[in-house]
Amino acid sequence: MSCLLLGVIRRQGVGASVGVRSLASIPSLPPAVAEFVKGAVEECKPTGVHVVTGTPEETANILAGLEKDGMVKKLPKYQNCWLARTDPKDVARVESKTVIVTKSQRDTIPIPAGGVKSQLGSWMSESDWQKAREERFPGCMAGRTMYVIPFSMGPVGSSLSKYGVQVTDSPYVVASMGVMTRMGTPVLKKLADGVEFVRCQHSVGRPLPLRAPLVNSWPCNPDKVLISHLPDSRKIMSFGSGYGGNSLLGKKCFALRIASRIAKDEGWLAEHMLILGITNPQGVKRYVAAAFPSACGKTNLAMMKPTLPGWKVECVGDDIAWMKFDSQGKLRAINPENGFFGVAPGTSDKTNPYAMATIARNTVFTNVGETSDGGVWWEGLDPPAAGVTLTDWHGKTWKQGSSTPCAHPNSRFCAPAGQCPIIDPQWESEEGVPIDAIIFGGRRPEGVPLVYESFNWQHGVFVGAAMRSEATAAAEHKGKVIMHDPFAMRPFFGYNFGDYLAHWLSMESRKAPTHLPKIFHVNWFRKDPASGAFLWPGFGENARVLEWIFKRCSREREDEAARKSIVGWLPEDGTIDTKGLGSKVDMGALFDVPKPFWQKETKELRAYFTQQVGADLPAQVEAELKALEHRVHN
């Protein structure tokens, strides 16, 4: 059977030296795919090529191989769950080593003012990139198998879906891509029809024989990490990291950085947003998309268990939304992913019971703690039962009260979305779900109200552009600094942020019929300045805020259940249902909009837009900033 595939690759001219191990015969690779694979084989020099079919038997074999190599271990406490521990130098997205390669710098980032470093992406010139590539990829897969992964972002066959082919020397990536994307033979059939695909090349950068021992049996090359994107030719090349955000190239690399550029070219939106469906007690349902930076509760909101009687939330996706206007002018969204790649610490039966149910089987855990009875543990879970001991993410014995965490703060679960008990019945709908509201939000300890609605679409785009949040563990930033994170896309823009804003603004002037969603901003994280405690209980209680947003979506008057403030429309007193909340929630403090705070905020925004976006800032966004400056000073 593998002779068949070898023959295919020989016919396409890969060369006879390539040994091929395949678990299923494949009559032929589509010519464009074969050409891409041939080029990758010539550059990376693997000892074998394996075209991934995506069958359960193949997945079982991949996991068994990973276990034999010591890269994962089976967790006997659960059904088909696995634990991976990475090299401690390979635990998060590496923004400083993530670049976009275009002819001109300004295609990728606005030119920042006077020597300031751009925070809106990293550009690399084509000549520098070529040099970096030549220092990394040639021969990088020696002694390893190259896996060819045909994958679909979105349901196979949907008009909103896009396709990719990833070559990788990491079987951990194959196992994870099988969860996170639709992968294998059905996609190969689609590629045989000649559909376009994004070319993704990944290597852990540790050819065999090894020159130095591995840490935790985890191959990576931290000193040489480079995650590069070539939007003009729709290519992604990632080297040196096995961590999900850098190696599962369908995720942030394709679904946001490359897709945002495809979306600009084709007139749609690729966004860092969860999608949820919310149904009121009368059975009316609306869909909402929401953009929050990492570690601001995206997964918790997407899988919320509402405390309000009769309300129901269902999950379409927890991280990425691709949105396109249909022929009636309704914005429709799909979740292009097939799984959840969620942050484990803080996830518990209290904060997110549905996530806990989702990850009880068929899940790959990375860098979490391990219990002596064959389970997993992380900060935020109840202490294990008496007599059960803990091992930390380094593989060392760990005790409560230790100065270091048991699970890495960015440790992850990778689980099939279809296992979520509240997955939305329409989550794989080919036409997508209709979006009524878009919510922006972040971690703001002071000054920003619990919820407000933008005055209009243009003001809403400004609200997205002005997003700021406390930094998180998903990337390598340190400490509790408030960072600008426009649209929660700061690390993920695939092209110039000024052009991105212009693209969002252009939705209002589409020639075709257009029903624009309403735009809101939320902040679950405001603190009492005296005690430092959160003013709002969050989690399931956030349904109270969603109820107000839901009502505003069907309003007949602008001031229905709302009053105008300097930042936008705030809920009228008493329009957020507080029954059963307990008297300790100070609604006055949650909706206070202090002018001195907002004067400082507008100053920061003015400096940020001037330094970071400069001449590329659209006039409409400048006009919104001027209007806010006027409101906060009068």
Which residues belong to the active site? 93, 243, 252, 272, 294, 296, 319, 412
SS (H, E, C) 23-67: CCCCCCCCHHHHHHHHHHHHHHCCCEEEECCCCHHHHHHHHHHHH
Instruction: Please give the Cα distance from 458 to 508 (Å, whole number).
Output: 8
Give bridge partners of residue 522 from the DSSP assignment.
Answer: 441, 451
Query: In terms of Cα–Cα distance, which of 349, 397, 403, 346 is closest to 371?
Result: 397
Q: What is the dihedral of CA 23, 25, 31, 37, to 10 degrees?
A: 20
Query: In terms of Cα–Cα distance, which of 227, 319, 309 is closest to 270?
Result: 319
DSSP 439: E
Bridging pattern class, strands 285-291 and 433-441: parallel
Give bridge partners of residue 99 from the DSSP assignment.
Answer: 228
Tokens in use for 398? 């760990």
Q: What is the largest CA-CA distance in the chain?
A: 78
Helix (H) or strand (E) run with residue 380 in it? none
DSSP 207: P
> Which positions ≥6 away from 56 have C-beta within 8 Å?
none
Give bridge partners of residue 391 from the DSSP assignment.
Answer: 370, 397
3-state secondary structure of 268: coil
Do residues 332 and 160 lie in contact, with contact meaning Cβ atoms separated by under 8 Å?
yes
> Which positions ≥6 away from 423 have C-beta within 8 Å?
314, 315, 316, 417
Instruction: Please give the Cα distance from 65 to 168 (Å, whole number).
Output: 15
